[in-house]
């Protein structure tokens, strides 16, 4: 059984406590469910864009890289400038540096490369952050 540790009136037994984030509500660490929904929304949008502009055909072998390429570009551009992809916006999430500052282009590129490799995204730390976020120095926060 895991127990919480209280230091300076802060319960360190919840995800995000080590990063100084609140346990729940606005500004807290995004949970797995909304993050997965955001990725599914983004992937569907990127697949439609790939089909429309890059000749990708659902279920066909040709151009199978196209949705991933669009997904990469979407993440770099939107996370690097706005702090969230379309899927993140829909479910109320925002990506920033752990300090709370905007992610910016450098961390967005690093995070996107690692996210597209998939393996880093399924390896989490004690706070529930994927390895891609940990290496890029970013965190996904709830905005509502």
Encode pLDDT of 17-70 as tens digits.
Answer: 988 999 999 999 999 999 999 999 999 999 999 988 877 776 666 567 889 999
Q: Is pLDDT larger for residue 36 or for residue 5?
A: 36
Q: Is pLDDT at 9 greater than 70 in this prediction?
A: no
Name the residue with tokens 């990708």: 56
The pLDDT, as a whole number, for residue 61 is 64
- Whether 47 and 60 have beta carbons less than 8 Å apart is answered as no
pLDDT interval class at 5 (50, 70, 90): very low
- Return the axis-axis angle of helices 66-81 and 32-53, rounded to nearest 10°: 120
How confident is the model over 113-117, as a mean pLDDT?
93
Q: Distance (Å, rounded) from C-alpha 79 to C-alpha 82?
A: 6
Q: Is pLDDT at 4 greater than 70 in this prediction?
A: no
Q: Is pLDDT at 3 greater than 80 in this prediction?
A: no
How confident is the model over 3-24, as a mean pLDDT?
72
- In the chain, which ranges are E strands? 6-7, 10-11, 93-97, 138-142
Q: How far is CA 75 from CA 3, 4, 21, 39, 55, in A?
A: 37, 35, 24, 10, 21
- What mean pLDDT value characterizes the chain? 87
Name the residue with tokens 């920033």: 96
How confident is the model over 130-134, as a mean pLDDT?
92
């Amino acid at each position: 059984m895991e127990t919480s540790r209280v230091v300076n009136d802060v319960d360190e037994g919840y995800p995000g406590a080590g990063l100084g984030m609140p346990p729940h509500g606005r500004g807290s660490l995004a949970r797995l469910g909304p993050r997965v929904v955001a990725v599914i929304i983004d992937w569907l949008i990127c697949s439609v864009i790939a089909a429309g502009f890059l000749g990708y055909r659902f279920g066909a072998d040709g151009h199978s890289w196209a949705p991933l390429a669009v997904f990469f570009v979407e993440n770099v551009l939107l996370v690097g400038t706005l702090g969230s992809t379309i899927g993140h916006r829909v479910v109320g999430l925002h990506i920033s540096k752990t300090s709370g500052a905007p992610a910016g282009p450098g961390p967005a590129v690093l995070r996107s490369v690692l996210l597209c490799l998939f393996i880093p995204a399924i390896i989490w730390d004690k706070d529930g952050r994927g390895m891609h976020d940990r290496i890029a120095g970013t965190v996904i926060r709830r905005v509502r």
